[in-house]
Chains A and B, each alone.
Chain A
Amino acid sequence: MTDEIRKIIQEHGRLPSDIGALPASADLYQAGMTSHASVNVMLALEDHFDVEFPDRMLTRSVFESIASIEAALTELRAEATLR
């Protein structure tokens, strides 16, 4: 999942640097991702993983790193399997 998230951020995050060099815990906003770019990342993640981020997850902290995005997606997928 990490590689898929990296690819989506590379394509939609409009980062000025190569995301391949960033560790999973790196702050994407510090790396140059704008709030509008984070919307594009969210939409692309929803399309790719067939999930919808609920309002409670629309926080800066959820989209601030590859690791936090992966944790949120893992949670959403676990919730989906319980339904």
Chain B
Amino acid sequence: MRVGIDLVSVEVVRDSIRTHAEHYLERVYTARELRDCGTSTGVDPERLAARFAAKEATIKVLRPGDVGISWNTIEVRRHPPGWVDLELSGPAAALAAEAGITEFALSISHEGGFATAVVVANTLQESAP
């Protein structure tokens, strides 16, 4: 089993949207995530911050070393009742397979200007770091 956690300031995400706009949004988040975080006036930085925290928590679980992982290969999927899970693709999915990860569990939250995420992964066996 592996676990990862991350904490992100909502203000820094808001600032990134202001400074880098689409370049930031498209480089870091998937189309589905942007849709899930959409508001009538744009995107919700609190929900995006929670997703960024989830991506970083997942990277901590994957322990990529010198394998490059694009943030948008780790997708947070929101389901109608309100719970979330992860969908990995590309190098992130390959690392998960290599590590023998059979299942991920994700929880995200935001409050008081910060967003956090915890990722737990079940593994078939623990591989060398």
Task: Pick the interface stretch among B11-19, B36-44, B100-108.
Answer: B11-19
Scan A18-62; emit 1 where CB is below 8 A from any B CB, else 0: 000000000000000011110110011011000000111111011
Interface range on chain B (Cβ under 8 Å from partner): 20 to 34
- Report B-chain residues with C-beta under 8 Å of the C-beta of A61: 66
Q: Is the CB of B12 within 8 A of A36?
A: yes
Given A14-B12, A35-B56, are A59 and B23 also a contact pair (CB < 8 Å)? no
- DSSP class of B's interface residues: helix, strand, loop or mixed? helix
Given A40-B19, A43-B24, are A59 and B67 also a contact pair (CB < 8 Å)? yes
Count residues of chain A with CB under 8 A from any CB of chain B: 20
Roughly how many angstroms separate A34 CA and B52 CA in the complex, as a whole number? 12
Interface residues of B (CB under 8 A from A): 6, 8-9, 12-13, 16, 19-20, 23-24, 27-28, 52, 56, 59, 64-71, 73, 90-91
Interface residues of A (CB under 8 A from B): 12, 14, 34-37, 39-40, 43-44, 46-47, 54-59, 61-62
